[in-house]
Chain A
């Protein structure tokens, strides 16, 4: 009696232990992803954002005769979670670095309805109506905006840009312009520049 009781009482936990061990084995086999220490997922190399030029609004295929309230720029990203920098320019002058209007960062859209396409809606202040202007939008993963020239040149892995001509008269003469015929540094003080108006509407 004395010997029987511990034998039965031991058989029950043994059965439980066996089942538990089997279950653990099964679970571990099924969940084998933890059998080895986790390795980092392979990371794709960074790729530059690409502007879907065909869909930008207004269309770049004709001269703008009217100033739009905003420019719509769809950008395709290799990583939809990526942050992208953008900058807008009007009459960017590579000599003086002038022309930066605005810059900002667009953060990821978690459930974008159009896959990897992020659409930027950029209002840009209307320039003077007396002559043709060149409007440019630059997008990149990173833009150094501490200097206008850097803002116009994306850092690696690069970026993309799209430009429009805006001419209220529909006349393309003078596009693109630097400073309406006057050389920079001549008339604007030490570093300044002068633009002369008077063009025909």
Chain B
């Protein structure tokens, strides 16, 4: 009995023990707090840091954020860069405006602490806080004096203000005469009737240097020329730009600006004006023509230097609604060239064709696909000789089977074919001679180049789940062969092993590897030239190495005494690629974007940067 009782107790205790064990097994996992577990495969930046490559001046060290960083003395990169701040439209201060803060390798002037003023407590001190510059209320007016208005044939009382549209192009600041190709918006302002009946434009602009172009609005654009001013810099809270035609600003020599224009078939509805050759900006009045022969003054103001430097072209254009009629563009040399005879041209011809896969057609059937085709004239036929001064361009979309039809003035054209995304074919430009009606013009662009690469961290791990974005390197493309059109952008993502593939147009690209947000690694930029031909359709990029980052963090505030934070602003960092050792090119590259982030509700932003781009 005792033994049985003892056995029963032993069984009970065994059962209780099993229960306890099972309870622990059940209870332990179920009692864990429910936490979000990111399912990310991307490698994270965590300490230790021994395996990372060092930076130019310091090794990668474990920071207080348990992250490997290349620490710098000033809390900013040790190479020149620009901070471009896009203030959101919802901001009370400077909504929708863009600021540029420039910094050299020493952090000046963006991170330079301003001199202390007695009695003023500064809440914002670099490098942990950056303050945006002040805003100016820039008003502009185009005033006309009686003498000048009589010259253009539209007498007005003295000091009459005419409506204008003002364009503000940011030029640079006191440190830099001109900014390179940064993504700066052009600002516009239109006239309105002011408080005292004066017609003026008002626009809020950040302090800085601007080119201000005053375009008189219709119908005054036929009489009064645009006026451009670059100085003075806008650096006061209330800035007034007042163009006074006939007092401060004079019309250029009218006799030398009078064009004699003839066209046998008539000029009714045609228009004529002058442009700056480099910027293609209109610099004269626009005059509407009539008859077959006309003398028309193309008034300009303050443009004599452009005439002296032969930087002016005259344009005679048909009405906008006309099709298959070219415009006539002639350069002016030493101020002459305004005796313009628009040549007669043969009637336009119909051009039909197809954009199709390369290769021989089987049974005469080509496999077409959708594309966009742009014809730009190189030279056009006239009833005498061909002319390079006549210009015509048109863009058309094919149907889904690649077929297109249009009408063109006879001549030689550069045809740019842009196959639709997803077709896998490359953008291509080729010469086309249109000397008669064409019914079977066939474009067969080659396949895009398959670009392969691999992104790795400098500690040897593969960089998975990173975005790879290719954008055209416009500066390099423009210098290159004009028959290689600027490529189109592309994007892809790295795989688990860091490898990526994407199809790109041949040409110069800026290829950016953007690690997954929150992983603690910076974006890396390279500038490959992607080859392309009918035979070589694949290229392998060198391994892209993503280093430990240099951290730049600051709070963005407005310039008021209370230094209010700027929330939800897009902050972008740009740097000019360094010229590689031994390179012979002296042409500076456009800056590339090396980091970006959005400020939080408190105006704080953290951007992780790699070393100087090359």
Contact = CB atoms under 8 A, between A and B. Distances in A.
Interface in B75-89: 86, 88-89
A198 B322 contact: yes
A137 B404 CA distance: 28
B460 interface: no
A57 B27 contact: no
B15 to A, nearest CB: 8
A66 B98 CA distance: 14
B527 to A, nearest CB: 13
A193 interface: yes
A193 B16 CA distance: 83
A196 B185 contact: no
A1 interface: no
Given A28-B23, A110-B39, A195-B394, A72 B570 contact: yes
Contact of A57 (B86, B322, B405, B491): B86
B568 A52 contact: yes
Contact of A14 (B9, B326, B400): B9
A109 B31 contact: no
B21 to A, nearest CB: 8
A70 B10 CA distance: 76
Contact residues of B: prevailing secondary structure? mixed
Interface string A1-18: 011001101100110111
A17 B598 contact: no
A13 B12 CA distance: 9
Nearest to A18: B16
A188 B86 contact: no
A35 to B, nearest CB: 10
A102 B492 CA distance: 12
Interface in B587-614: 593, 596-598, 600, 606
A123 interface: yes
A194 B350 CA distance: 12
B188 A14 contact: no
Interface in B441-484: 467, 469-472
Contacts of B16: 16-18, 20-21, 24
A80 B565 CA distance: 25
B356 to A, nearest CB: 14
**Interface-central residue, B16, B17, B91, B280, by most chain A CB under 10 Å:** B16
Interface in B226-275: 271, 273, 275
B590 to A, nearest CB: 9
B569 A55 contact: yes
A158 B15 CA distance: 58
Contact of A198 (B318, B401, B421, B518): B318
B320 A101 contact: no
A187 B406 contact: yes
Contacts of A31: 26-28, 30-31
Given A14-B9, A101-B421, A198-B320, A34 B27 contact: yes
Contacts of B570: 55, 57, 72, 74, 119
Most chain A CB inside 10 Å of its own CB: which residue of B2, B10, B20, B596: B20
Contacts of A68: 183
B488 interface: yes
A113 B551 CA distance: 14
Contacts of B510: 69
Contacts of B596: 72, 119, 121
Interface in A104-128: 104, 109-114, 117, 119, 121, 123-126, 128
A27 B421 CA distance: 61
B27 A61 contact: no
B91 to A, nearest CB: 8
B6 A6 contact: yes
Interface string A35-67: 000000000000000001111011111111110
A98 interface: yes
A155 interface: no
Given A109-B517, A170-B165, A198-B327, A33 B399 contact: no
A100 B38 CA distance: 33
Given A101-B421, A189-B403, A199 B320 contact: yes
A111 B518 contact: yes
A48 to B, nearest CB: 20
A181 B517 contact: no
Contact of B27 (A27, A64, A69, A188): A27
Contacts of B394: 194-198
B187 A62 contact: yes
Nearest to B86: A57
Nearest to A199: B320
Nearest to A200: B317
- Chain A CB count within 10 A is highest, among B15, B91, B404, for B404
A198 B24 CA distance: 81
B393 A198 contact: yes
A110 B38 contact: yes
A162 B9 CA distance: 76
Interface string B155-184: 000000000010100000000000000011
Contacts of B593: 69-70
A197 B469 CA distance: 31
Contact of A54 (B327, B469, B472, B568): B568
Contacts of B13: 13-14, 16-17
24 contacts: A6-B3, A9-B6, A14-B12, A17-B17, A54-B95, A55-B86, A57-B183, A61-B89, A72-B570, A74-B568, A109-B516, A110-B518, A111-B40, A111-B518, A112-B517, A121-B514, A130-B393, A189-B405, A191-B399, A192-B405, A196-B323, A198-B393, A200-B320, A201-B275
Given A2-B2, A59-B98, A117-B598, 20 more contacts: A10-B6, A55-B568, A65-B167, A65-B185, A65-B186, A66-B183, A96-B397, A98-B397, A113-B518, A114-B600, A123-B471, A123-B491, A125-B488, A170-B165, A189-B399, A189-B404, A192-B399, A194-B404, A198-B318, A201-B275
Interface of A: 2-3, 6-7, 9-10, 13-14, 16-18, 20-21, 23-24, 27-28, 30-31, 33-34, 52-55, 57-66, 68-70, 72, 74, 96, 98, 100-102, 104, 109-114, 117, 119, 121, 123-126, 128, 130, 170, 181-182, 187-201
